[in-house]
Structure 1
Amino acid sequence: MHIEPFQICVSDVEIADLRRRLRDSRWASATPSGPWQQGTDTTWLRELVKYWADSFDWRAAERGLNQQPQFMANVNGQRVHFVHQRGVGPRPYPVVVTHGWPGSFFEFRELADRLRDPAAFGADPNDAFDVVIPSLPGFAFSPAPAAAGTSAFQVADLWASLMRGLGYQRFGAQGGDLGAGVSVVLASRHSQVVDGIHLNFLPTSYEPAIDAADSPLTIPEQNYLREKGEWAALEGGYAHMHATRPQTLAASLNDSPAGLAAWIGEKFRAWSDCDGVIEGRFSKDELLTNLSLYWYTQSIGTAIQMYWENRLQPLRFTPGQRVLPPVSFAHFPKEINHPPREWLERVFNIAQWTDMPRGGHFAAMEEPELLAADIRSFFRRFRH
């Protein structure tokens, strides 16, 4: 496996083009509805776009991103961008951490610091990790696959090869959103090298086999499935579009930075523990660093393509099928779904379950300390 160092370098021409597009935004007419009632609030969006055009310092963000050791690897014919941070401790444990949409590798900067060097944050240096954070194929600097069919299953195979190429014979995995699906498949298809997985989200395509006679649905499971359906009907339009007409949507979002900000920014508000105030959890600079990664790499279309692929290859389990490596689940109260423990136990060996006091879908950004402590606690059992 060939690996080479990587640094981000966006041209001045691209930066100037983005600012021009932002300043030339053509705004949709307001509707007689309350703020955020029908989606992204226009007043908030105008303010964010103005800041993006006139005040946001991409060069400072770029320097910050380039402080992380980044690499590009050729893994089984697929080029993969990844961050690789070596742990500070007597025997760091390797973990591969996978992001989702609408996030990126940028999500994990504070979490990675706490995992890499726990002593710097008042924790035990014996809990240090070697942290590998790949960009999913088609996201940011990982090119899109040349052929169709790259779902969580194929990505998990890539990650197993990447970790082996980095010299790790055994490792753990962590993920939320799309990254949770990749982590589940890593555990199910590569149990010979994956010690365990830590999840802070249950993939919505997860479907255990149900035997109505021997193991009927419990009341909490019935409530969960009802609530999941209700959420999908009211809030899941984005996912249905991603999974059925990704290229139709990509034509708009790849051309309009204001549209991209509306599509992604609304999710950071709706899915986080922010009480309706986005800047209560994420600064404008954080939001725009993530948005700029999508914009400058023109990856929004290739990123949402993974929803199409995952629809064709859902996480369905057959009767009696179980994932062998132990699983830890961190349940954040403002996450978009709330599965009961017994729903996961139909397939997984739940070794640790934590009900978090606060936090939402973007746990690594919202509550990096809580998430890091939970990850340390779970993987401690494998360090011997």
Structure 2
Amino acid sequence: MAATGERTGAVRPFSVAVPPEAFDDLERRLAATRWPSAELVDDRSQGVQLAVLQAVCRYWASGYDTGRVEARLNALPQFTTEIDGVEIHFLHVPSRHEDALPLIMTHGWPGSVMELLDSIGPLTDPTTYGGLAQDAFHVVLPSLPGYGFSAEPAEVGWDLGRTAHAWAELMRRLGYSRFVAQGGDVGAGVTDVMGRQAPEGLVGIHTNLLVPALNDPAALPSGTEQERAAQAAIKTFQTSGNGYFVEQATRPQTIGYALLDSPAALAAWMLDHDTDAYAKIARAFLDGQPSGNLTPDHVLDNITAYWLTGTGASAARSYWEAYGPDAPAAQNPPPPPVRVPVGFTTFPGEIWRTPRSWAEQAYPTLDYFHEAERGGHFAAWEEPDLFAAELRAAFQPLMAAAPGTRRPR
């Protein structure tokens, strides 16, 4: 992706071009899948169910338009730039409203920029979606290092903090002297660290996963029924729902061999995340009843992006960097507090529903908290309009304070 002979730090236009043989190879590998026998239980307690994965792969092989990833991305302005030795791919969609607030959003795993695409319209062009011109954002969507069309790091050390520094540099290169950040899943970790690093220009953050709660849930309040339910949900996740997390944080290379060799294995690994999302995706493929935007086509857009870029292993390594035994977070240094305003939205299908008391303890600068009526762990993907409305509400005081600044390029 990097153009030779260009100065370091240059921002270069980018477009996706997938060779036809890549689709031929995918078709061949799907047809050659060796299926295990069915699980011996009637739920997902043994993992992704055979009927679900066979339905996914059947549609992938015969009903899905494999050119969708290329077409959807190339319909939007894409760029690459080298930051700290890694070529970063990103979408940059300025609003037609010049005084829009610049926003950098970070995806997670097993997501990608594909999960955020349908939120771009409501965020950049709110008047078309029932909002006001002053609700607009200039949107920047980078692919995490080792994900999608961003290059793989060639050395260890790309933890959440290094990525957070890279995102601040990216916004500087784009000419934004005042901006906000948002993230869910791994993106919530990056955004949380950005708030603690407080780079010049960052004026607020919003997340929809309370990352500090995973570090020490026992230290959080447990006096109310909602708080106890949240602690119980975290315990369930840590004892029976985080197999992918443990493997990627400790042995990413091992699982990487399967993820690069078998599209069926990649699909199964990516589906086996949280119970709510799995159930919704299973219904979409088995019963034709998608939940919001979690349609078969959108789900396969994300999986296909991982397959075509061959980033299953490198994306898994990001967990080793961020959460592994030698990661900075594992050393438990006292993190600096977040000094910018914080917005937080908890969605009903999230791995745990964060009580307001937890968000207030984690973020003393919390100035927006809301319990959404729909959506789950992949909130922007499942409910893009509702997600955009949450960001407008969370950042409204900052949008009214002063416009963002963008240097003309």
Same-fold call, TM cutoff 0.5: yes
- 8 Å contact kept, 1:6–1:70: yes
* Aligned pair partner of 1:246 in 252, 266, 269: 252
Query: 2:133 is matched with which residue?
Result: 125
SS in 2 for 1:314: helix
SS in 2 for 1:79: strand
Q: Does 1:323 align with 2:331?
A: no
The CA deviation at 1:158 is 0.2
Deviates more, 1:260-269 or 1:238-247: 260-269
Query: 2:374 is matched with which residue?
Result: 358
- 8 Å contact kept, 1:80–1:142: yes
Match runs of 1:292-371 below 5 Å:
292-311=304-323, 312-314=327-329, 316=332, 318=334, 321-348=336-363, 349-371=365-387
Distance in 1 separating the partners of 2:153 and 2:389: 35
Distance in 2 separating the partners of 1:288 and 1:148: 30
Query: 2:35 is matched with which residue?
Result: 27
SS in 2 for 1:133: strand
The CA deviation at 1:238 is 1.1
Match runs of 1:6-17 below 5 Å:
6-17=14-25
Kindly provide the CA deviation profile for residues 44-95 of structure 1, in whole angstroms up to 9, marking residues without a partner as x.
2112212212222122442122101111111232210000001122411100
Query: Which consecutive residues of structure 2, in runs of 5 or more, have no partner in the other structure?
Result: 1-8, 403-409
Distance in 1 separating the partners of 2:145 and 2:86: 8
- 8 Å contact kept, 1:242–1:308: yes
SS in 2 for 1:162: helix
**34 and 85 in structure 1: CA distance in 2 versus 1, 3 angstrom threshold:** same
* Aligned pair partner of 1:151 in 159, 165, 169: 159
TM-score norm. by structure 2 comes to 0.87
Distance in 2 separating the partners of 1:204 and 1:34: 34
Query: Which consecutive residues of structure 1, in runs of 5 or more, have no partner in the other structure?
Result: none
Query: 2:194 is matched with which residue?
Result: 186
Deviates more, 1:45-54 or 1:351-360: 45-54
* Aligned pair partner of 2:241 in 210, 235, 241: 235
Q: Does 1:197 align with 2:212?
A: no
Q: Does 1:375 align with 2:391?
A: yes
SS in 2 for 1:242: helix
Kindly provide the CA deviation profile for residues 2-28 of structure 1, in whole angstroms up to 9, marking residues without a partner as x.
111111111111110110000011100
**60 and 22 in structure 1: CA distance in 2 versus 1, 3 angstrom threshold:** same
**346 and 31 in structure 1: CA distance in 2 versus 1, 3 angstrom threshold:** closer
Q: Does 1:264 align with 2:276?
A: no
Count of residues in Structure 1 that have an aligned counterpart in Structure 2: 379
Deviates more, 1:81-90 or 1:132-141: 81-90
AA of the residue aligned to 2:350: E
AA of the residue aligned to 2:134: N
The CA deviation at 1:225 is 3.5
Identity of aligned residues (%): 37
SS in 2 for 1:325: coil
**50 and 224 in structure 1: CA distance in 2 versus 1, 3 angstrom threshold:** closer
